[in-house]
C-alpha cells in the first residue's frame, strides 16, 4: 500500500479527478492549501502599492493505492495536472503501513 500525495493547480482539479477515476483510484481526499515551490508567489497591486503574495493557492490530493497501481496513478496525475508551465506541482509516494475501513474493520487491500 502506498499513500500518494499530489499538489496541483486548483483549476486542474476536475481534470485530475476524472483521470484518477479512469485509472481506477477508489477514493481521493482533497484539501485547499497554500504554499510555494520554485514558482514562488506573485504580486498584487492595491491602489498602486505592490504586495508580494508568497503563498499561492494549491490543491492537495491524497489517495491510497495498491503497490501495483502506483505507476498508472502517477501517470494519470501527471497527464491531467500538467500545463508545462512552472507551478504545476509535485507528487510524492510514501509507504502506508496499514489501512483500515472504519465501518467493518477490514484491513489491507480489502479496505481500499
Partner 1 sequence: MTIDSGATAWVLVSAALVLFMTPGLAFFYGGMVRSKNVLGMLMQNIFAMGLISILWATVGFSLAFGGSGKYFGNFDFMFLKDVANIPNLPGYVDDFALIIPPLAFVVYQMMFAIITPALITGATADRMKFSAYCILIGVWAVVVYPTVAHWVFSPNGWLFQEGALDFAGGAVVHINAGAAALAVILVLGKRRGWPREAMPPHNLPYTILGTGILWFGWFGFNAGSALGANGLAAQALINTQLAAASGMIAWLIIEKIKAGHATTLGAASGAVAGLVAITPCAGFVGGMAPIAIGAITGFVCYLCLTLKTKFGFDDSLDVIAVHLVGGLAGALLLGLFADTAINGLGADGLFFGGGASLLGKQALASVATFAFSFVVTYVVAKILNATIGIRVSPENELVGLDQSQHAETAYQA
Q: Residues in the site for partner 1, rule: CB under 8 A?
A: 44-53
CB 33 within 8 A of CB 59: yes
- Residue 47 vs 103, nearer CB to partner 1: 47
- Residue 42 vs 90, nearer CB to partner 1: 42
Tell me how far, at minimum, the Cβ of 44 lies from partner 1, in Å: 6
Three-state DSSP state, 112 = coil
Distance CA 85, CA 37 (A): 13
Tell me how far, at minimum, the Cβ of 32 lies from partner 1, in Å: 13
98 CA to centre of own chain: 21
Three-state DSSP state, 106 = coil
- Residue 45 vs 104, nearer CB to partner 1: 45
Tell me how far, at minimum, the Cβ of 30 lies from partner 1, in Å: 18
Amino acid at each position: 500500500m502506498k499513500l500518494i500525495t499530489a499538489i496541483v493547480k486548483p483549476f486542474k482539479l476536475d481534470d485530475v479527478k476524472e483521470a484518477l477515476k479512469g485509472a481506477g483510484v477508489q477514493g481521493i481526499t482533497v484539501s485547499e492549501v497554500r504554499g510555494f515551490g520554485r514558482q514562488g508567489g506573485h504580486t498584487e497591486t492595491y491602489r498602486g502599492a505592490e504586495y508580494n503574495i508568497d503563498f499561492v493557492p494549491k490543491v492537495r490530493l491524497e489517495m491510497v493505492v495498491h503497490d501495483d497501481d502506483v505507476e498508472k496513478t502517477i501517470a494519470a496525475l501527471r497527464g491531467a495536472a500538467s500545463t508545462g508551465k512552472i507551478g504545476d506541482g509535485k507528487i510524492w509516494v510514501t509507504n502506508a503501513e496499514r489501512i483500515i475501513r472504519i465501518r467493518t474493520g477490514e484491513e489491507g487491500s480489502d479496505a481500499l
